[in-house]
Amino acid sequence: QELWAPGAGPAYSHITVYLTDEQFSPDTVAWLVSAMGLLMTAGKCLIGEVTDLLGGRRACLLFGMFVVLGQGLECFIPTRSSAVVCLSLLFAGLGLALSTVGFSIWCRDLCRGDNALLCKIQSAHMVGALLFSPLPGILADGTGSYQPAYLLFALLTILAVGLMARAYAAPAPNRQHI
């Protein structure tokens, strides 16, 4: 769960700085980030529907792939391609619903609905997001761009999705220890 923290919290909260740093106008950035926020809201409803239809494992893997695709495309924001920017924010926005609603789904599916564990997972996520929040700025100061931070976020998200898939593949008796 801590691996979701950098890709969800700092990645989303620094996207405005990243886009502005890449010379997008403030008006364009405002529209793009607003659209991403609306997509995150829609994603929360959609992940619930997909979970009901396909089950938690498939829904979480699908939305995990959305985040991976979105954050992978965010690495190409410096190309200034409108298609790349829009697709990156579309997929990241939809997929980031997993960083909120996903915890409840994982807890239900993998931890027998243990609400105390859900609180711990959510707390760990918040601590991770807080600890990683300076990372994009630190990397940008050192490299001159926010792009390396978004590459790191994409890599961490790939790792997180892989670990999530592994957790879902584990035999049921072992799941309580996740």
pLDDT of residue 8: 61
Closest CA to 161 of 112, 96, 114, 117: 96
26-54 and 82-95 are packed helices; what angle lies between their axes, rounded to 10 degrees? 40
Tens-place pLDDT, residues 10-63: 888 889 999 999 999 999 999 999 999 999 999 999 999 999 999 999 999 999
